Every structure is written in C-alpha cells, then in structure tokens.
Amino acid sequence: MPTRTISLTAEQDASVEQIVKTGEHRDALKLKSLRARIKAGSDAIERGAFIEIDDADLDGYVERLTPRAGNDTRRTGGTDPQDKD
C-alpha cells in the first residue's frame, strides 16, 4: 500500500489524534455505509421493488428472514417464503 508523508500543524495533529483516539473515523465509515444503504432502499421503493407486510404478519416475516442451518435461501438461491406465485 502506498504511503505518504505530510506535515501537519499542531492543531491538525491534535485533531487527527482525537479522531483516532475516540474512534470517530470508524463512525464516519459506518455513517457512509448507512447512508448508502438508505439510498439503496429509497431507490428500491421508488422503483416499486418492495413488498407490503401487515403489522400482524411482521414478526413471522422477520423470523423467516433469519437463516437457519440448511435453510438459508440467500446462500442456496432459494425463493422468498412470501412469494406465492
């Protein structure tokens, strides 16, 4: 991996040190990932690529999303249990 040497002012150095020490840089990466996922979801909704689930059916639907040994449709290429066609 390429490296670079740069000169920082004392204020900049203190700022970088604080960001690294507090883990803010990791939070920024998480935030960037979260924003990308929100955009993907929003785009899917705009395209109509979603299903509606009644409140009464929500717990069961979420439970079926949880992978179980030998029953993980995401790895096996299976279908969504909600698909009835």
CB 16 within 8 A of CB 7: no
Give residue 71's pLDDT band: very low, low, confident or very high (50, 70, 90): low
Residue 13 counted as domain residue: no
Give residue 69's pLDDT band: very low, low, confident or very high (50, 70, 90): low
CB 44 within 8 A of CB 50: yes
Domain residue limits at 41 = 19-66
Residue 81 counted as domain residue: no
Q: Which two tokens stand for residue 45?
A: 């909704």
Asked whether the whole model's pTM tops 0.75, one would answer no
Residue 35 counted as domain residue: yes
Q: Could you read off the pLDDT of 23-66 as tens digits, one per residue?
A: 888 888 889 999 999 999 999 999 999 999 999 999 999 999 88
Distances (CA, A) of 28 to 3, 18, 24, 32, 36: 22, 14, 6, 6, 12
Sign of CA dihedral 70, 76, 81, 84: negative
Residue 5 counted as domain residue: no
The per-residue pLDDT for 56 is: 93
For residue 24, which of 33, 12, 15, 35 has the smallest C-alpha distance?
Answer: 15
